[in-house]
């Protein structure tokens, strides 16, 4: 056999093998899709009959009421989502600085907790489309640092700013107040107490929390400026590699947003204090 004939035969055999393998590719892809669907968080929740939601307490997103039940904007969102999916709701309270690791290990199906979309978080989880926007505010101690009217007044090495660790508030304070001394706390009440005691001069948190604290402690705290100094999109977070769950949640957000329901609940929880009497 000549070399050219051998090359032609080899080429023909390679082409034949390729053609024989082609029908197997769609079948393999279909098997992958079926496996992804079966393992998706939403499919598991439907089989279980329960939607497990990871959250932590932030006023007014999620708070424990006097009767021991959780209330708040994000609690309303979680309950409405579970109801629309025909599922019961299981809230899984989780420390904020460990909430993403808890999601990744399967302790719950989705995070619904006022989580802002950030690049460092997006490396670990997939975010839905936003369903709300929030921003950071600041409240200051009336006696230790009075008369300030701008954010720049707090960007000073002599100023201590209390924030909750692992939050967007901590990131915002670090970025916008790089010269200030940041004091990190695992819970917001601890951070607020630090300002009330005078050991810190300011507290940064997502609005309207700073305004609520100023109203509750008029003799000790004040708002140096109105409004917020950042604007962040809030979204739900799910595990990576789960397109079915992401699609269901995105579709639900679009439908509910079109009703005006998110806006209505936002006004109630963020612009009124009608719910304050339900707290301990």
pLDDT at 22: 52
Residues 129, 47 share a domain: yes
Statement to judge: residues 218 and 253 lie in one domain? no
Same domain, 112 and 169: no
Length of the chain: 280
Per-residue pLDDT, 28: 47
Q: Is 225 exposed, middle or buried (0-12, 13-18, 19+ CB in 10 A)?
A: middle
106 with 76, same domain?
A: yes
Mention every residue, 6+ apart, whose C-beta is less than 8 A from residue 66. Answer: 278, 279, 280
**Does position 86 have pLDDT exceeding 90, yes or no?**
yes
Predicted pLDDT of residue 110 = 98
- The DSSP output letter for 210 is H
CA distance 275 to 179: 38
* Average pLDDT value over all residues in the chain: 90
Dig out the tokens for 170 from the structure.
């901590």
Percent of the residues in the chain that have a pLDDT greater than 70, as a whole number: 86
Confidence of residue 70 (pLDDT cuts 50, 70, 90): very high
| Residue 96: domain span | 41-133+232-278
User: Would you say residue 4 lies in a domain?
Assistant: no
Q: What is the reported pTM?
A: 0.83
Task: Please report whether residue 188 resides in a domain.
Answer: yes
Domain boundary among 201, 222, 243: 222
Residues 123 and 141 in one domain: no
Q: Do 115 and 143 fall into the same domain?
A: no
Q: How many domains does the chain have?
A: 2
Measure Cα distances from 24 to 20, 27, 37, 117 in Å.
8, 5, 20, 40
- The CATH number given to whatever domain includes residue 175 is 3.40.190.10
Comparing 133 with 34, which gets the higher pLDDT?
Answer: 133
Helix (H, G, I), strand (E, B) or coil at 211: helix
Residue 81 shares a structural domain with residue 145: no
- 237 and 125 in a common domain: yes
ω into residue 47 within 30 of 0, thus cis?
no
């Amino acid at each position: 056999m000549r070399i050219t004939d051998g090359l032609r035969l080899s080429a023909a055999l390679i082409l034949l093998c390729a053609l024989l393998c082609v029908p197997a590719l769609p079948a393999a892809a279909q098997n992958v899709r079926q496996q992804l669907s079966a393992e998706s968080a939403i499919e598991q929740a439907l089989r279980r009959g329960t939607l497990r939601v990871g959250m932590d307490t932030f006023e007014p997103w999620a708070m424990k009421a006097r009767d021991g039940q959780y209330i708040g904007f994000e609690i309303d969102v979680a309950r409405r989502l579970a109801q629309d999916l025909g599922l019961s709701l299981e809230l899984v309270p989780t420390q904020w600085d460990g909430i993403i690791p808890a999601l990744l290990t399967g302790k719950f199906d989705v995070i619904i907790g006022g989580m802002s979309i950030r690049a460092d978080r997006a490396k670990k989880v997939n975010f839905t489309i936003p369903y709300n926007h929030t921003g950071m505010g600041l409240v200051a101690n009336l006696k230790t640092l009075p008369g300030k009217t701008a954010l720049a007044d707090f960007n000073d090495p002599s100023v201590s700013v209390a924030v909750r660790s692992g939050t967007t508030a901590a990131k915002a304070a670090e970025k916008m107040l790089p010269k200030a001394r940041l004091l990190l706390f695992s819970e917001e009440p601890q951070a607020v107490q630090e300002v009330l005691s005078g050991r810190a001069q300011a507290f940064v948190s997502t609005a309207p929390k700073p305004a609520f604290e100023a109203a509750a402690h008029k003799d000790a705290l004040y708002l140096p400026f109105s409004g917020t100094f950042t604007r962040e999109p809030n979204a739900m977070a799910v595990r990576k590699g789960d397109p079915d769950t992401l699609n269901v949640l995105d579709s639900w957000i679009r439908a509910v947003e079109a009703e005006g329901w998110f806006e209505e609940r936002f006004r109630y929880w963020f612009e009124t204090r009608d719910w304050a009497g339900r707290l301990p």
